[in-house]
Structure 1
Amino acid sequence: MRRPTLDLEALRTLVTGVQLDSFAKAAIQLNRSTSAVSAQLKKLEAQTGHPLLVKSGRGLILTPFGERLLTYAQKMLMINDEAFVSFAEYEMTGKVSIGLQEDFGERLLSGALATFSRAFPNIEIEIQVARNKDLLDGVRTGKLDLAWVWTDGSVASKWHEVIAQFPMRWIVSKQTQFPLPPPQTSALPLIMFERTCLFREAAICQLDQNQIHWRQVMSSHSLAGIWSAVSAGLGMTVRTEVGMPDDLISIDHELPSLPDLTLCALSSQVTPSEAALALNKVLKESLFELYPNSSKIR
């Protein structure tokens, strides 16, 4: 037996009337007559074989079946509307250049770019994975349409969006022997980027304020180099846990607390292109899937 097909326009009338708490207001918003709205509701009742509304005082309220249908109606309309948005997005063309921190290069990029390419096959993407300073320069000079950078809260760009906050952590190899020597009696071996680096500055500032001795045993121009040196047990570093290799752990053994760091999207344009905004949206969704406990800022 062939099942009837619910009328999406009639379902939209039902949902709108409930949202506005008035089917007369729904008629105005949907640009229909009150008689047309009434006809659509009766059509739904005929299709389902159940009454949807009953009188309550001067108004109408949903029956238990009407409540049930409303839930399905909202889901069906959401899927319908998403489909039409995706059709428009699918036709989007252009080019977008984006810069990302090395922290996001491995785990975030592959999945996010695959998702973006499927949704926007006609958009060409250029990617630069680099340190903060290079990304900020790319935005300033207009070479990058969009860049994700770490900030201490201060932002200078034509457009920006605060995405999330992550705590900075002291990070060592899982093979590190515990307990560590008390930091007051032994200089902490640090593995860091050279200046200028927000992580380096935060670590040294906290150590100096707490009169803890430290020494830089290695510097690197790449995050991969820092991770490798820490994995080998040469010392500790300070990063967020974003992109941290599985053989490393974060600790707080008699060490001063570190501040949170803000992840910010910057653009060289006052109003970023649709392609840049679409890519930024996909990256955010992928980020929060990978790190659901991050401090999201919507």
Structure 2
Amino acid sequence: MRGFDLEQLRTFVAVADSGSLSAAAPRLFLSQSSVSEQLRKLEERAGVPLLLRGRRGVQPTPAGERLLGHARRMLDLDALAMQDIRGETLAGELRLAITDYYRTAEIAGMLRRLRERHPQLRLHVTVMKSAAIDAGVDDDAFDIGLTMRVVRARGGTGERPRAGWRPLRREPLAWVGARGDTEGIAVPLPLVLLPDTCSLHQYVVRMLKRARVPYRVSHSASGVAGLQMALAAGLGISCLNRSAIPAGVAALDPSTASSLRLPALPEVEFCLLPPRRGEAPVVQAAREVLAEQLG
């Protein structure tokens, strides 16, 4: 029996993480047709469907979810073996600031894999709001910052790309509420939001005002974890990027969103802040590793 092909597994992980073939293709430096062919061969080798394809992108099947964990470990072992025989490892102290919208269910596992790959790297991780990370770009509070911006949409809403920012991944935004508990929503819309310093808060309010949709802030959370809990408790609706939608919360179905006159939402983009002048070699090297690990 033949084993799995590492490049096919790498493609599978990238597609599962990106949510679509088109988003994964540039990360893999492949055409979309090549990505599709890699996945076809992988499913043929596995003997079972691994991805469900739909209008909102792709998601792993139950078999795909099981393979995803194995694939990550196999790719990590492959990287560890290469680093070991080449004598490549990161050593030293690294202060990392990560936006609290970033892949909330997966970040702990990703950081654990980074530590296992580079056991001599001393990681100090702070989860912060994007606005605080952006404001700290010129101070010495952290070495590397991962922030989020709303992609500028046609018509002028959203944020313009900033010089030196390194895009890692994009995710769609969705209007969300408590799973199975959104039928009674009415105007003025009960919004669950972060404080008004949050760029996503500002964007949502601006979009609703532009669409002339009445709203009220029913709950203000101090962080994304609190916002997720308030949504699951049915305290209102909000918008979240795909990977930040927790159990108990779901995207509003199109008919509900249409009846409430909710405007269409763009994507968000996660970016590494630009390097500082005179950056230490360990930070420079870690930036490249993180771009691969977090993308």
Give the TM-score of the pair, scaled to structure 1. 0.60
**Compared with structure 1, are the counterparts of its residues 214 and 95 closer, same or farther at alpha carbon in structure 2 (3 Å cutoff)?**
same
CA distance in 2, matches of 1:266, 1:94: 20
Task: Verify the 8 A CA contact 1:144 1:268 in the aligned structure 2.
Answer: no
CA distance in 2, matches of 1:222, 1:141: 23
**Structure-2 residue corresponding to 1:70:** none
The answer to whether structure 1 residue 172 and structure 2 residue 177 are counterparts is: yes
- Comparing 241-250 with 100-109, greater Cα deviation is found at 100-109
CA distance in 1, matches of 2:95, 2:115: 14
Structure 2 counterparts to residues 150-189 of structure 1, below 5 A: 150-152=148-150, 153-154=159-160, 159-178=164-183, 180-181=185-186, 186-189=187-190
The answer to whether structure 1 residue 265 and structure 2 residue 272 are counterparts is: yes
**Structure-2 residue corresponding to 1:243:** 244
**Compared with structure 1, are the counterparts of its residues 205 and 284 closer, same or farther at alpha carbon in structure 2 (3 Å cutoff)?**
same
Per-residue CA deviation, residues 239-287 of structure 1 (Å, 9 max, x unaligned), is 2122221211112411210122221101451475554455445545455
User: Which structure's CA Rg is the greater one?
Assistant: 1
**Structure-1 residue corresponding to 2:127:** 129
Task: Verify the 8 A CA contact 2:174 2:240 in the aligned structure 1.
Answer: yes
- Counterpart AA for 1:94: G
**Compared with structure 1, are the counterparts of its residues 268 and 142 closer, same or farther at alpha carbon in structure 2 (3 Å cutoff)?**
farther
- Counterpart AA for 2:111: L
**Structure-2 residue corresponding to 1:149:** 147
What runs of 5+ residues in structure 1 fail to find an aligned partner? 1-78, 289-298
Give 1:133 deviation, angstroms: 2.0
**Structure-2 residue corresponding to 1:227:** 228
Give 1:213 deviation, angstroms: 0.5
CA distance in 2, matches of 1:137, 1:177: 36
Per-residue CA deviation, residues 183-202 of structure 1 (Å, 9 max, x unaligned), is xxx20000101112221122
CA distance in 2, matches of 1:267, 1:283: 13
CA distance in 2, matches of 1:84, 1:194: 43
CA distance in 2, matches of 1:256, 1:160: 28
**Compared with structure 1, are the counterparts of its residues 84 and 264 closer, same or farther at alpha carbon in structure 2 (3 Å cutoff)?**
closer
**Structure-2 residue corresponding to 1:113:** 111
What runs of 5+ residues in structure 2 fail to find an aligned partner? 1-77, 151-158
CA distance in 1, matches of 2:193, 2:281: 37
Structure 2 counterparts to residues 279-298 of structure 1, below 5 A: 279-287=286-294
Aligned residues: 204
Per-residue CA deviation, residues 12-71 of structure 1 (Å, 9 max, x unaligned), is xxxxxxxxxxxxxxxxxxxxxxxxxxxxxxxxxxxxxxxxxxxxxxxxxxxxxxxxxxxx
CA distance in 2, matches of 1:119, 1:85: 10
Task: Verify the 8 A CA contact 1:108 1:287 in the aligned structure 2.
Answer: no
State the superposition RMSD in angstroms. Answer: 2.8
CA distance in 2, matches of 1:119, 1:86: 13
**Structure-1 residue corresponding to 2:97:** 99
CA distance in 1, matches of 2:244, 2:285: 23
SS, match of residue 209 in structure 2: helix
The answer to whether structure 1 residue 193 and structure 2 residue 222 are counterparts is: no
SS, match of residue 224 in structure 1: helix
- Counterpart AA for 1:165: R
**Structure-1 residue corresponding to 2:219:** 218
CA distance in 2, matches of 1:109, 1:165: 16
Task: Verify the 8 A CA contact 2:228 2:246 in the aligned structure 1.
Answer: yes
SS, match of residue 207 in structure 1: helix
- Counterpart AA for 1:145: D
The answer to whether structure 1 residue 87 and structure 2 residue 86 are counterparts is: yes
CA distance in 1, matches of 2:178, 2:293: 27
Give 1:217 deviation, angstroms: 0.8
The answer to whether structure 1 residue 256 and structure 2 residue 257 are counterparts is: no
Task: Verify the 8 A CA contact 1:97 1:144 in the aligned structure 2.
Answer: yes
SS, match of residue 190 in structure 1: strand
**Compared with structure 1, are the counterparts of its residues 278 and 86 closer, same or farther at alpha carbon in structure 2 (3 Å cutoff)?**
farther
CA distance in 2, matches of 1:98, 1:211: 40
**Compared with structure 1, are the counterparts of its residues 244 and 287 closer, same or farther at alpha carbon in structure 2 (3 Å cutoff)?**
farther
**Compared with structure 1, are the counterparts of its residues 138 and 204 closer, same or farther at alpha carbon in structure 2 (3 Å cutoff)?**
same
**Structure-2 residue corresponding to 1:12:** none
